[in-house]
Structure 1
Amino acid sequence: MMWFAKILITLDSPLWNYCILDEGHIIKNAKSKITAAVKQLKSQHRLILSGTPIQNNIMDLWSLFDFLMPGFLGTDRQFQATYGKPLLAARDPKCSAKDAEAGVLAMEALHKQVMPFLLRRTKDEVLSDLPEKIIQDRYCDLSPVQLKLYEQFSGSHVRQEISSMVKLDDSAHPEGNSASPKASTHVFQALQYLLKLCSHPLLVAGEKMPESLVCQLHELLPPSCDILLELHKLHHSPKLVALQEILEECGIGVDASSSDNAVSVGQHRVLIFAQHKALLDIIERDLFHSYMKNVTYLRLDGSVEPQKRFDIVKAFNSDPTIDALLLTTHVGGLGLNLTSADTLVFMEHDWNPMRDLQAMDRAHRLGQKKVVNVHRLIMRGTVEEKVMSLQKFKLSVANAVINAENASLKTMNTDQLLDLFSSADTRAKGGTASKRTDGSLDEDPKLMGTGKGLKAILGGLEDLWDQSQYTEEYNLSQFLAKLNG
C-alpha cells in the first residue's frame, strides 16, 4: 500500500473524488511511514474497509479517524487523555470504584461518538450458511525441563519488571510506559524468552548454555547425555505432544491398516500456526520426521518468496492428500483463502488478538463447508495465560466501542445525533455544555458568539437532496452508460 500511496502523491497531489482503503487497519500506527504517506492523499470522500479497526488499543481507532475525518476525535494527546488513560486505569483489577466508573463512561462516550460513522456487518449477517467456528483452549503443563528453566529465569532480577510490563495495555508497544526505552526493550525481551520457553526449551537453549544451567539440567536428564540432543525428544515439549494427539484425532499420521475406525484421507485437514519459524523447524524435524513420517505437509513462512506463496496455497487447496500446512501467523494470517482446511492449531499466540482472529479467518470464510475447529495450546500457570487474558481485554474493548448498534444509523435518534456534534465541538474547544431545567442547553461561555452552538450547526446544514437527485446520482444503468460512452 505504501509504495502505491507514494506514487499517487507524486502525481502533483491531485484531488481524488474517492479514496478507499481496503484492510485499512494497516494505518493503525499513526507514526508509521505508510500511515504518513496515505494521509497525504487528498480526496473529497474517504472510506475504510476493515474487519479489525481496533487491534491493540483504541489509539488504533484514532489513527483511522484521523484519516477519515481529521480533527473529529481531537489530537492524539487529547484522545489519549479523554479515552485511553481512563480505559487503561479501569483495566487494573485493583482499580478504585471511581476509576472503574470513569473507564465505563469513557467507553460509552467513545462508542457514542464514533457509532454513526461505523457500519458493522458480521459473518452471521452476510453469510447465513457459514458453518460454525468452535474455539477450544487446550491447557498443557510445563515439562520438568521447561519448569526448571522458567523458574530459574522468572526468579531472577527481571521478575518484577515482567509483572509490571504485563499490566500494560499493549506489552509489545508500551505506550505510556514511564520506564526508559532500554528498560522497556529489556522487559519485552524477557517476555519473549518466557513465551518461547512455553513452546519448546530448544527455542531458548541455543547452541551455547551457561555451565551453571547445564549442571541444573543434568539433574533432570539422563546422566552423561548430550543436552541439546536430548531436548529434541518429544516429551520435553508438551505442546508437540498435544499437537500429535490433535493430528491423530483427525486421522492424520496414523497407520490406517492398524485402525478399524480410520478416518478417510482428506476428511480433516489442518493449518498449524506459530509465531516463530524456529518452532516450525522443530515441528518438522522432531514430530513429522521422527514420529509421524507418513504426514504430508507444506510450509509457508517469511523465507518463501512472495511470488511463490500463492502456488503453495493453490497446491494445498487442490490436493486433499496434503494433510497439513505449516504457517507463521505473520505471513499466513492475512489475505489467504484456505477453506480446504477445517482444523486449526495455534502453537503460539499474538499480543494482538486480531492477528490470531484473522489467521482463523483463513479457513472460516466464504466457501467453507465444514465446521471449523480451532485448538489453542496454552501452557498453564505461565505468561501465556496473561497473553490470553490481555487478548480477551482488548477484544472486550473493541466489541464495546463497535457493537451491534453500529448496524445502522437507525439506532440513533435525532437527539443523539445532535448531542454527538455538540460533544465533539465542546471537547475540541475544551469547554462543556450543561442542561438547564427547561431542557435547553447552556453553552460554555468560551463558545458564546462563535456560531458553534447547536443552532449554528443546524443552520449550517445543507438542504437534503430530493428523491429524484438520489435516483439520478446512484442509477447504475446511467453510470454504466456514461462509462461506455
Structure 2
Amino acid sequence: MDTDGRGRRGAAAVTRDDGDTAAYNRRCARYRALMAERGGDDVVLSGGLRVPAHVWGRLFPYQRTALRWLWELHQQDAGGIVGDEMGLGKTIEVAALLSALRHSRLLRATLIVAPATMLSHWVRELHAWVPDMRVMLLHDSGHAMGARGMSRSRVIRKIQDCGGALVTTYDAVRLHAAALLPFRWSYAILDEGHRIRNPEAAVTVAAKQLRTAHRLILTGAPIQNNLRELWSLFDFVFPGRLGALDVFDKQLAQPIAAGGWASASPMQAQAAYRCAVVLRDLIQPYLLRRLKRDVNAALPDKTEQVLFCRLTPHQRAAYLDYTRSDEVQEVLRGDRRAFRAVGVLRKCCNHPDLLLRDSPDRPADYGHWQRSGKMRVVAEVLRLWAAQGHRVLLFCQGRQMLDIMGAFVRARGYTHLRMDGTTPVKARASLVARFNADADVFVFLLTTRVGGIGVNLTGADRVLLFDPDWNPTTDIQARERAWRLGQTKAVTIYRLVTAGTIEEKIYHRQIFKQALTDRVLADPKQRAWLKMRDLRDLLTLDEPDDGGGRRGGGRGRDGGGAGTETEAMLRSARLPSGMVVADEEGVSSSSSDDGGDSDGGFDA
C-alpha cells in the first residue's frame, strides 16, 4: 500500500467540528443525560474552581498539578507557558482547565491556535473533555467552513455568541488578524507556541495584539536556538516580565551564551551562571516544565542511538569535488552566501543523486540505495525490523529524499504510508489514525516538520531520523512521536549522521543549543563543550581514520566522550560496514570494517 494523502486513497472527510447545530445539540443532550446518570461531587480547588468529578478522575497526578498551576495563573490574570516534555498530555491539561472553567461559569469565547496538522486533534480532545462546548474550525478543513460554507466572520461571531472554542492556524491569525482582533477572548492558547519565537514575524505581532488577559503557550521546547526566542514567548504570555528585548539581550542573553563556550574565561563562566540564575528565577513562576522521567509517567523504556555512517566512494568524490569548487571558495572569501553551499553538502550526505535530480546526467537508476551510506544502513535496519515485527516512523527533512525513500520501500515490498507538506490537511488525521490502527502498515514516511509536530504515532515502536536539522527541537519533536502516553512497547530511536561531514557538525551544534536550554531551564552551572567554529570548518570534510572511526568524534546529549579520543567498548553486535554508534549517554563505538554482513546480533 502506497498512500500519501494526495490521491484518492488519501482523501478524508472534513473534520467534524460543530458547524452542524443539530449534531452539537444532540451531543450536549447525551452529555447531560450521562452526567445525570453518573452523579458525583465536583472537586473544588482553592479559590473556588469546580472541576467535574469525571474530569478530575481521568487526570494523572502530574496533570492535576498542572491544572492547579493553571488555575493560579487564572486568578492572577496572568499567562504562562506549559512547557512539559512532549508526550505528557499538554492538550489534556488545558482541555481540563477549560472544562473546569466552563463548569464554574468562568469561561467565555476561547481562541486556540495550532499547526494545521493538529486542528482535528484539538476538536477531538475538546469534544472528549468539554462535550458541552461548541468547537468550530476557522479553516476550510472544518465542517463549518468546508461542508456548510460559513464565512469566517459568521464562524467567529457564532463562537463569540455561544462562548465556545474557535480553533485555527497560525497562518489564519496572520492573514485574518483584522477579523480576530476586534473581539475579546477569555483565553488565547497557542499550541506549539514556539511558532512565535521570532519577535519580528508577522504572526508574532498579530498574536500579541489579541485582546485577552489569559494567554497560554503549549510547547515542549521553550528554547530552540537562542534566548531571544524565550523572550518572545514571554512577551506574549506576560508582557514586560523580561523587560525590553535590547536590554534583555545585552544584560542576560549575551552573557549566558558567551559563558557557555568551552573557551570561555572563568569570569565569563561566572557571569553566565549568575545571569542564568536570574533568568531562571524570573521565568520559573510562569513556566511549568516537567520531564517524563520526573513524573513517573509509566512509559515503556526508550533507547536512543546516533549511528555515524560512512560516505560511499561515490558520495565522497562528489562531496570533495564540491568543497573544492569555485562556488565554495567564493563562500569562504565572503563573496557568496553560504545557504546554497550548505544545502548542496547536505544533499550529498543524504544521496548524491539528489544533486542530479533535474540534470541531463540523472542516472537511469536514480536514487539507488547502494550509492548512499545512510541508505545502506536503512536497508539493513528495515530488513531486521520487518523480520522482528516492529513498526517504523522514518523521518526525512525534505520531500526529494522522501521520494527516494518511497521508491526504495516500494521496491522492497514494504507496506507504508506517507505524509509531507503537500498532504492536504483534511487527509492528515486519517493517515495518522490509519497507521495507529492498522498493524499491517510497516513504515510511515514523514517529513520532519509535518509529521514531527504534535501528532500521536504510538502505533510505531521504532523511529529512524534520516538526517539532522539545525534546530535540535525539530529532531526531538520527531523522535517523541512514538514515545508518549498510550505507548505500550519499548521504543528504539536511531538518528543517522554522516561522519566527518556537515551533518556531524550540525549534530555538534544541536548539542550546544541543547546545553543552552538546559542552562536556563535545568542547571545554570552547565557548560557547553563545543568551541566556536568558523565557516571553513563547516564546509570541509573530516576524513574517517583507517580503523573505522572518525576524526572529531560524536557526542551524546550530555557531551560525553568523542571519537578516537574515547576508549569505548565495541558493540557485541556486528553492524553494517562503516557504521559508528554513539549512545545518547555519550558512549561511542565503531564497528569492525571487515565488510561482513550484519545478520544476527544486531541490536534492533
Q: TM-score with structure 1 length normalisation?
A: 0.67
Pick the aligned partner of 1:270 from 382, 386, 392. 392
- What is aligned with 2:419? 300
Of 312, 319, 325, the match for 1:143: 312
- Other-structure match for 2:357: 206
- The answer on 1:344 being equivalent to 2:463 is yes
Tell whether 2:477 aligns with 1:326.
Answer: no
Which deviations, in whole Å up to 9, do the C-alpha atoms of 1:323-353 show, x marking residues without a partner?
1010001110112111010001011111111
Secondary structure in structure 2 of the residue aligned to 1:86: helix
Assess if the C-alpha contact under 8 Å between 1:270 and 1:325 holds in 2.
yes
Paired residues of 1:333 and 1:360 also in contact (CA < 8 A) = yes
- Alignment-derived partner of residue 189 in structure 1: 340
Whole-Å Cα distance in 2 between the matches of residues 65 and 75 of structure 1? 11
Query: The residue matched to 2:276 in structure 1 has which SS?
Result: helix
CA gap of 1:227–1:16, structure 2 versus 1, over 3 A, is: closer
The structural deviation recorded for 1:53 is: 0.9
Contact map agreement 1:111 1:402 (CA 8 A) in 2: yes
Report the residue type matching 2:228 in the other structure: M
Q: Deviations over 1:164-207 (max 9, x none)?
A: 9xxxxxxxxxxxxxx8xx95xx2122111111110000112333
Q: Larger Rg: 1 or 2?
A: 1
Alpha-carbon distance in 2 for matches of 1:344, 1:153: 32
- Retained in 2: the 8 A contact 1:124–1:130? no
Shift of 1:124: 3.0
Instruction: Please provide the CA RMSD for this pair.
Output: 2.7
**Worse overlay, 380-389 or 4-13:** 4-13
Equivalent residue number for residue 36 of structure 1:
205
Tell me what 1:381 maps to. 500
Deviation at residue 6 of structure 1 after TM alignment: 7.0
**Contact 1:161-1:187 within 8 A present in 2 as well:** no
Instruction: Give 1:126 shift.
Output: 4.2
1:316–1:84 CA distance, 2 compared to 1 (3 A) = same
Matches within 5 A, 1:50-449: 50-126=219-295, 128-156=297-325, 183=336, 186-208=337-359, 228-229=363-364, 232-250=367-385, 252=386, 263=388, 267-285=389-407, 287-290=408-411, 292=412, 294-403=413-522
Distance in structure 1 (CA, Å) of the matches to 2:331 and 2:477? 28
Distance 1:20 1:144, change over 3 A: same
For 2:241, the aligned partner's letter is F
Uncovered stretches (5+) of structure 1, i.e. residues with no partner: 165-178, 210-225, 253-261, 406-485
Q: For 1:452-482, what per-residue CA distance to the aligned partner results, in whole angstroms no more than 9, with x for missing partners?
A: xxxxxxxxxxxxxxxxxxxxxxxxxxxxxxx
1:38 to partner: Cα distance: 0.9
Question: With CA pairs under 8 Å and 6+ residues apart, which has the higher RCO, 1 or 2?
Answer: 1
Equivalents in 1 of 2:396, 2:217: separation in Å? 29
How many angstroms apart in 2 are the aligned matches of 1:234 and 1:86?
47
The code of the aligned residue for 1:315 comes to: R
The one-letter code sitting in structure 2 at the alignment partner of 1:366 is L
Distance 2:419 2:183 in 1: 39
Cα deviation 1:71-127 (Å, max 9, x = unaligned):
221222222222332344345544444444443333333223222221212223445
Structure 2 gap ranges (5+): 1-112, 114-169, 525-604
Aligned residue type for 2:502: V
* Distance in 2 between residues matched to 1:194 and 1:232, nearest whole Å: 16
Instruction: Please give the alpha-carbon distance, in whole angstroms, between the structure 1 residues aligned to 2:522 and 2:264.
Output: 25
**CA 1:208/1:120 → structure 2, altered by over 3 Å: closer, same or farther?**
same
Where 2:487 maps in the other structure, the secondary structure is coil
Percent of residue pairs identical:
38
Match for 2:307: what amino acid?
Answer: R
Question: For 1:42 and 1:357, how far apart are their aligned partners in 2?
Answer: 33
The 1:380–1:14 alpha-carbon spacing in structure 2 relative to 1, beyond 3 Å, is: same
SS of structure 1 residue aligned to 2:311: coil
Deviation at 1:7, TM superposition (A): 6.0
Provide the C-alpha distance between the structure 1 equivalents of 2:331 and 2:506, rounded to a whole number of angstroms. 12
* CA distance in 2: counterparts of 1:249 and 1:310, whole angstroms: 29
Residue range with higher mean Cα deviation, 64-73 or 381-390: 64-73
Shift of 1:268: 0.6
Q: Is the partner of 1:55 in helix, strand or coil?
A: coil
Equivalence for 2:132: none
The alignment of Structure 1 onto Structure 2 pairs a total of residues equal to: 355
With over 3 angstroms needed to count, the CA separation of the structure-2 counterparts of 1:27 and 1:245, relative to structure 1, is same
Query: In the alignment, is the contact (CA less than 8 A) between 2:257 and 2:516 conserved in 1?
Result: no
CA deviation profile, 1:40-62 (whole Å, cap 9, x unmatched)? 01222333222111112111100
Name whichever structure is richer in helix by fraction: 1
Q: Relative to 1, partners in 2 of residues 1:18 and 1:289: Cα closer, same or farther, differing over 3 Å?
A: closer
Q: Secondary structure at the match of 2:212?
A: strand
Question: Could you tell me whether the CA contact under 8 Å between 1:47 and 1:68 is conserved in 2?
Answer: yes
Q: Secondary structure at the match of 1:44?
A: coil
Q: Deviations over 1:375-426 (max 9, x none)?
A: 1111000111111111111111112211289xxxxxxxxxxxxxxxxxxxxx
Contact kept in structure 1, 2:349 and 2:503, CA below 8 Å? yes
Deviation at 1:32, TM superposition (A): 1.5
Q: In 2, are the aligned partners of 1:18 and 1:43 still within 8 Å (CA)?
A: yes
C-alpha separation between the residues in 2 aligned to 1:101 and 1:332? 41
Contact 1:56-1:394 at 8 Å conserved across structures = yes
Question: Are residues 158 and 116 of structure 1, via their aligned partners in 2, closer, same or farther at CA, if it must alter by over 3 Å?
Answer: farther
Q: Distance in 2 between matches of 1:5 and 1:198?
A: 36
Q: Letter of the aligned partner of 2:338 in structure 1?
A: V
